[in-house]
């Protein structure tokens, strides 16, 4: 009740308890504590990932960039590079970790390139699980990957096989936000066509990307409209740049071409602002989904596996992804067919089933 | 109809018919005139008939007009009648604008996408080569253009050996030509399906060559003339473009990849200067489109975006005009010559050596990658 006096908004009225101020208390505490967010960027080399991250957060996370030559790339495997930066805005501290994956999709044979990435994600979950089960749980550092920006090349006609395989492999572990990179190479019509194509292919392959939550009914119209617009623009077609260019007397971030200037923050040119809005307004939701959905999936799977007495196959069938179940069933089917063939060859009796 | 020798100084062709027989007569008559000139004048014979001196006589040294330059006109007419053949192969990942660029280059719908109705852009599982043939005509000159497309190249997760079908195809064409050449009764004009030029599309990443680019160009640089281009270059600013090109050139040199125009095949200083200028600019950064827009009252080919119109034929915007000039306007015949004189000969030497090493005649050998034609072997015996 003493806190209501602080704001001066809620004088002593009858029946007023005062816990409506709880959000303010939470707000103050979290501002003090600061926020943690881990963002992973995945995509082929040269799609503008680093530029986009720098543009989004108005920092320079990659000051001395070394681009390896093709010969070096042949031997390289996918690396994981995590860089952390503390950003502060109006008293709110954000500890942002950007996990980069150089080498993804570079090699001629990209069959194994996402194993490293999946391992990293699992490791972060593992570590959190371990900390959570430990004795001292006061300062658990949350390094789990909250969001993954997957960069789709604008040059293709839709998703590439590598894109599909990768997204299918991680959609149960992390929130995927597909992003069309270097969108200044597309005209408006091409962009719409590509977006529709990508959404169709995502639906076709059953990939679960991050769904923006609908606005609550008690939010104002503006917010609802914004959410609707955001949802309709996925995947976001973005352009990144940190170069300042003078246009009509103002200095804005953009890219200067002989035929015109592409403005990064112009909603007519690209979806950069929408992406930033989405990230910023839904950062909390991304963290929640990671905690409630992906982490819990991981946790239950791990605990079951650790505590199981039965054969591995039965346990794993229960908790594995549909794809893996399908693969197992196919392998089993093949074995059975072989057995049947053998039996038929030997005895010409009715085949026994398992 | 028989021309007078003196009036041949005019530059317009006097012969109006295109009759083959008449050409032969005319040639003979011109030669006769030459000989008459020798006998009829009091001056010493035309050539200082000393075979040991430098035998090149310049036009101004001749004592009269001979008409040797008329052979150019004859050549021109013959080749115009016969027409040209040009086979161009486009290689690159799906979606890099290969078909659009080919259509833009030849200002007609020659790509596979324009020829197949209800075309759906699906990524194919293997690399299969499709060749489409068109006859284009411009000002009486006919060109039989074959575009060989390679859908499926570099699109899979595992792209190992995706260049093998292409290498196989190129070698097969050489083999076909070789066999035709070796026939006892060979055709007057051997149909030329050899790949004269391979345009390799690099995605405009702005970084460097990717491993798949290096591998492909290394292997194909030995057997065909490769022209690398930066596709969809409207995503690079001018500085990025320059840097990208520089890094690519460094990578090409570091890996020993020879692209067209190759330094070794420059014939003289003039060629070298011209080709050096080209070599400084490869790979060309191109943008292709078949849509037209109004710019300053003119209709131009371009891509319209919210921030401006990218004019395809404007050299300040992209280098499409340079590529077109190289491929069609200035170096088309050179491409064919290099293919015939160098790449094909290399292949031929290799094959003949192989057959000698095996101790058999070429007739008994099977095709490099496949079929053995017994009838052909027998016909050569």
> Taking phi first (over 0 means left), then psi (-120 to 50 degrees means alpha), and beta for anything else, what does residue A141 get?
beta
Q: What is the pLDDT of residue B29?
A: 39
Whether B259 and B221 have beta carbons less than 8 Å apart is answered as: yes
User: What are residue B45's phi and psi, to 5 degrees?
Assistant: -55, 155
Alpha carbon of B213 to those of A108, A258, B95, B196, B209: distances in Å? 9, 28, 16, 20, 6
| Interface contact A74-B238, CB threshold 8 A | no
> Length of chain B, please?
381
Per-residue pLDDT of chain B (381 residues; tens, 9 = 90+): 343 333 333 333 333 333 333 333 333 333 433 344 334 434 444 444 444 456 676 666 667 777 778 888 888 888 777 778 889 999 988 888 888 888 888 877 776 666 655 455 566 677 788 888 888 888 878 888 888 888 888 888 888 888 888 999 999 999 888 888 888 887 777 888 899 999 999 988 888 888 888 889 988 888 899 999 998 888 888 888 899 999 999 888 888 888 888 777 777 888 888 888 888 888 899 888 878 887 788 888 888 888 888 888 888 888 888 888 888 888 888 888 888 888 889 899 988 888 887 765 444 344 444 444 444 444 444
For chain B, say whether A178 makes contact (Cβ under 8 Å).
no
Q: For helices A49-57 and A272-281, give the axis angle rounded to 10 degrees.
A: 60
Q: Reduced to 3 states, what is the DSSP secondary structure of residue B344?
A: helix
> Taking phi first (over 0 means left), then psi (-120 to 50 degrees means alpha), and beta for anything else, what does residue A130 get?
alpha
Q: Please tell me the distance from the alpha carbon of residue B351 to that of residue B348, in angstroms, as a whole number.
A: 5
Beta-strand runs (E) in chain A: 35-42, 81-89, 92-100, 147-152, 176-180, 236-237, 244-247, 250-257, 260-263
| Interface contact B307-A257, CB threshold 8 A | yes
B101 vs A contacts (CB less than 8 Å): none
pTM of the model: 0.74
- Across the interface, of B204, B214, B307, the residue whose CB is closest to A262 is B307
Q: What is the pLDDT of residue B44?
A: 44
String of DSSP letters for A85-149: EEEEETTEEEEEEEEE-TTTTTSSB-TTHHHHHHHHHHHHHHHHHHHHTSS--TT-------EEE
Place of tokens 């390094």: A143
Q: What is the pLDDT of residue B198?
A: 92
* Contacts for B185-193: CB closer than 8 Å, 24+ residues apart: B189/B82, B191/B85, B192/B85, B192/B87, B193/B87, B193/B146
Q: State the smallest CA–CA distance between residue A107 and chain B in angstroms.
A: 6
Q: Please tell me the distance from the alpha carbon of residue A329 to that of residue A160, in angstroms, as a whole number.
A: 27
What helix, strand, coil percent values describe chain A, rounded to 5? 45, 15, 35
A256 vs B contacts (CB less than 8 Å): 237
| Interface contact A259-B96, CB threshold 8 A | no
Lowest mean pLDDT among A55-64, A321-330, B143-152: A55-64
- Across the interface, of A68, A156, A187, the residue whose CB is closest to B95 is A156
B214 vs A contacts (CB less than 8 Å): 70-71, 74
- Across the interface, of A45, A108, A259, the residue whose CB is closest to B205 is A45
Whether A210 and A176 have beta carbons less than 8 Å apart is answered as: yes
Whether A46 and B205 have beta carbons less than 8 Å apart is answered as: yes
Q: Reduced to 3 states, what is the DSSP secondary structure of residue A257?
A: strand
For chain B, say whether A66 makes contact (Cβ under 8 Å).
no
Could you give the maximum distance between any two Cα atoms of chain A, in Å?
93
Q: Please tell me the distance from the alpha carbon of residue B149 to that of residue B215, in angstroms, as a whole number.
A: 19
Place of tokens 């079951």: A304
Alpha carbon of B328 to those of B87, B102, B182, B332, B336: distances in Å? 12, 12, 31, 5, 11
Q: Please tell me the distance from the alpha carbon of residue A151 to that of residue A42, in angstroms, as a whole number.
A: 6
Q: Which of residues 87-126 of B touch A (CB under 8 A)?
A: 93-97, 121, 123
Whether B203 and B93 have beta carbons less than 8 Å apart is answered as: yes
Which chain B residue is nearest to residue A73, measuring alpha carbons?
B211
A111 vs B contacts (CB less than 8 Å): 157-158
Whether A313 and A328 have beta carbons less than 8 Å apart is answered as: yes
* Mutation target vs B (from A47, A73, A77, A259; most B CBs, 10 A cutoff): A259
| Interface contact A157-B159, CB threshold 8 A | no
B309 vs A contacts (CB less than 8 Å): 259-260
| Interface contact B232-A155, CB threshold 8 A | yes
Say if residue A272's pLDDT is above 80. yes
- Across the interface, of B156, B211, B237, the residue whose CB is closest to A73 is B211
Complex-level ipTM: 0.71
Q: Please tell me the distance from the alpha carbon of residue A348 to that of residue B16, in angstroms, as a whole number.
A: 87
Say if residue A177's pLDDT is above 80. yes
Q: What is the pLDDT of residue A318?
A: 54
Q: For helices B164-182 and B211-220, give the axis angle rounded to 10 degrees.
A: 10
Lowest mean pLDDT among A1-10, A17-26, B347-356: A1-10
- Across the interface, of A69, A155, A258, the residue whose CB is closest to B317 is A258
Of A145, A31, A38, residue with least CA distance to A84: A38
Q: Please tell me the distance from the alpha carbon of residue A156 to that of residue B123, in angstroms, as a whole number.
A: 10
Q: Between chain A and chain B, how many beta carbons pairs sit less than 8 Å apart?
A: 122
Q: Please tell me the distance from the alpha carbon of residue A81 to that of residue A49, in angstroms, as a whole number.
A: 13
String of DSSP letters for B40-78: HSSSPPSS---TTS-----GGGSSS---TTHHHHHHHHH
| Interface contact A111-B232, CB threshold 8 A | no
Say if residue A96's pLDDT is above 80. yes
Q: Please tell me the distance from the alpha carbon of residue B86 to that of residue B183, in angstroms, as a whole number.
A: 23
* Mutation target vs B (from A103, A107, A108; most B CBs, 10 A cutoff): A108
For chain A, give the mean pLDDT.
Answer: 80
Q: State the smallest CA–CA distance between residue B214 and chain A in angstroms.
A: 7
Contacts of A142 (CB under 8 A, 6+ apart): A36, A38, A128, A287
Structure-token pair, residue B277: 């200028």
Count CB neighbours of A213 within 10 A: 12
| Interface contact B234-A111, CB threshold 8 A | no
Contacts of B233 (CB under 8 A, 6+ apart): B204, B241, B285, B286, B287, B318, B319
Alpha carbon of B197 to those of B85, B87, B194, B325: distances in Å? 12, 7, 9, 14
Which chain A residue is nearest to residue B303, measuring alpha carbons?
A187
Q: How far apart are the first and last CA of chain A?
A: 70
Q: What is the pLDDT of residue B144?
A: 87
Whether B62 and B46 have beta carbons less than 8 Å apart is answered as: yes
Q: Please tell me the distance from the alpha carbon of residue B26 to that of residue A62, in angstroms, as a whole number.
A: 75
Place of tokens 């392959």: A205
| Interface contact B211-A108, CB threshold 8 A | yes
Q: State the smallest CA–CA distance between residue A215 and chain B in angstroms.
A: 31
For chain B, say whether A131 makes contact (Cβ under 8 Å).
no
B156 vs A contacts (CB less than 8 Å): 161
Whether A33 and A91 have beta carbons less than 8 Å apart is answered as: no
For chain B, say whether A50 makes contact (Cβ under 8 Å).
no
Which chain B residue is nearest to residue A183, measuring alpha carbons?
B235
Whether B244 and A59 have beta carbons less than 8 Å apart is answered as: no
Q: State the smallest CA–CA distance between residue B166 and chain A in angstroms.
A: 16
User: What are residue A300's phi and psi, to 5 degrees?
Assistant: -65, -40
For chain A, say whether B29 makes contact (Cβ under 8 Å).
no
For chain B, say whether A244 makes contact (Cβ under 8 Å).
no
Q: Please tell me the distance from the alpha carbon of residue B135 to that of residue A263, in angstroms, as a whole number.
A: 45
Of B146, B277, B282, residue with least CA distance to B202: B282
* Mutation target vs B (from A70, A180, A196, A245; most B CBs, 10 A cutoff): A70
Q: Please tell me the distance from the alpha carbon of residue B169 to that of residue A207, in angstroms, as a whole number.
A: 38
Say if residue A33's pLDDT is above 70. yes
Q: Which of the 8 DSSP states describes residue A170? A: H
Q: State the smallest CA–CA distance between residue B304 and chain A in angstroms.
A: 7
Q: Please tell me the distance from the alpha carbon of residue B228 to that of residue B211, in angstroms, as a whole number.
A: 15
Q: State the smallest CA–CA distance between residue A192 and chain B in angstroms.
A: 13
Q: Return the CA Rg of chain B.
A: 25
Q: How far apart are the first and last CA of chain B?
A: 48
Q: What is the pLDDT of residue B375?
A: 45
């Amino acid at each position: 009740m003493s806190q209501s006096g602080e704001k001066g908004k809620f004088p002593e009225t009858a029946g007023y308890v005062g816990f409506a101020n709880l959000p303010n208390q939470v707000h103050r505490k979290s501002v003090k504590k600061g926020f943690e967010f881990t963002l992973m960027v995945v995509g082929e080399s040269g799609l503008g990932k680093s530029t986009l991250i720098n543009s989004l957060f108005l920092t320079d996370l990659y000051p001395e960039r070394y681009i390896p030559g093709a010969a070096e790339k042949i031997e390289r495997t996918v690396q994981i590079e995590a860089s952390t930066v503390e950003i502060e805005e109006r008293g709110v501290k954000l500890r942002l970790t950007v996990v980069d994956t150089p080498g993804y999709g570079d090699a001629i044979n990209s069959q194994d390139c996402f194993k490293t990435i999946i391992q990293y994600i699992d490791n972060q979950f593992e570590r959190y699980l371990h900390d959570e089960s430990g004795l001292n749980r006061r300062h658990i550092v949350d390094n789990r990957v909250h969001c993954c920006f997957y960069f789709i090349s604008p040059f293709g006609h839709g998703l590439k096989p590598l894109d599909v395989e990768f997204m299918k492999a991680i959609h149960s572990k992390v929130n995927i936000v597909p992003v069309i990179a270097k969108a200044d190479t597309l005209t408006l019509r091409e962009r719409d066509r590509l977006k529709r194509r990508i959404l169709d292919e995502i639906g076709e392959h059953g990939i679960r990307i991050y769904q923006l939550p609908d606005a609550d009914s008690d939010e104002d119209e503006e917010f609802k409209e914004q959410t609707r617009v955001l949802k309709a623009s996925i995947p976001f077609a973005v352009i990144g740049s940190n170069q300042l260019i003078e246009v009509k007397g103002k200095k804005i971030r953009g890219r200067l071409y002989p035929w015109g200037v592409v403005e990064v923050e112009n909603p007519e040119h690209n979806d950069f602002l929408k992406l930033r809005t989405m990230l910023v307004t839904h950062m909390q939701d991304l963290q929640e989904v990671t905690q409630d959905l992906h982490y819990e999936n991981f946790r239950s799977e791990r605990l079951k596996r650790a505590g199981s007495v039965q054969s591995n196959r039965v346990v794993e069938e229960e908790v594995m992804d549909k794809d893996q179940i399908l693969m197992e069933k196919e392998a089993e089917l093949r074995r059975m067919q072989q057995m049947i063939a053998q039996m038929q060859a030997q005895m010409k009796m009715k085949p026994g089933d398992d | 109809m028989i021309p007078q020798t003196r009036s041949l100084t005019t530059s317009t062709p006097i012969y109006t018919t295109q009759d083959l027989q008449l050409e032969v007569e005319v040639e003979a008559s011109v030669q006769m005139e030459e000989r008459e000139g020798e006998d009829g004048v009091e001056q010493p014979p035309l050539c200082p008939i000393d075979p040991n001196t430098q035998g090149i006589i310049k036009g101004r040294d001749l004592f009269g007009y001979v008409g040797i330059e008329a052979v150019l006109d004859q050549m021109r007419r013959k080749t115009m009648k016969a027409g040209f053949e040009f086979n161009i192969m486009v290689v690159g990942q799906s979606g890099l604008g290969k078909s659009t660029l080919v259509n833009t280059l030849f200002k007609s719908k020659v790509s596979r996408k324009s020829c197949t109705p209800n075309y759906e852009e699906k990524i194919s599982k293997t690399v299969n080569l499709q060749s489409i043939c068109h006859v284009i005509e411009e000002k009486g000159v006919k060109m039989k253009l074959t575009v060989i497309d390679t859908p499926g190249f570099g699109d899979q997760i595992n792209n190992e050996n995706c260049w093998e079908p292409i290498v196989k195809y190129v070698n097969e064409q050489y083999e076909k030509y070789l066999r035709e050449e070796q026939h006892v009764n060979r055709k007057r004009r051997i149909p030329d399906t050899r790949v004269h030029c391979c345009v390799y599309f690099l995605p405009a990443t702005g970084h460097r060559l990717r491993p798949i680019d290096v591998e492909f160009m290394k292997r194909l640089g030995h057997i065909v003339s490769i022209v690398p281009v930066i596709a969809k270059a409207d995503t690079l600013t001018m500085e990025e473009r320059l840097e990208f090109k520089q890094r690519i050139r460094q990578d090409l040199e570091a890996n020993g990849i020879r692209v067209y125009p190759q330094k070794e095949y420059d014939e003289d200083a003039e060629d070298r200067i011209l080709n050096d200028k080209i070599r400084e600019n490869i790979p060309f950064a191109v943008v292709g489109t078949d849509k037209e827009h109004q710019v300053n009252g003119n209709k131009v080919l371009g891509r319209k975006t919210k921030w401006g119109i990218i004019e395809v034929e404007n050299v300040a915007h992209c280098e499409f005009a340079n590529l077109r000039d190289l491929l069609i306007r200035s170096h088309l015949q050179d491409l064919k010559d290099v293919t015939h004189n160098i790449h094909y000969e290399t292949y031929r030497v290799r094959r003949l050596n192989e057959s000698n090493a095996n101790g058999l005649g070429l007739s008994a050998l099977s095709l490099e990658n496949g079929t053995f034609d017994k009838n052909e072997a027998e016909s050569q015996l």
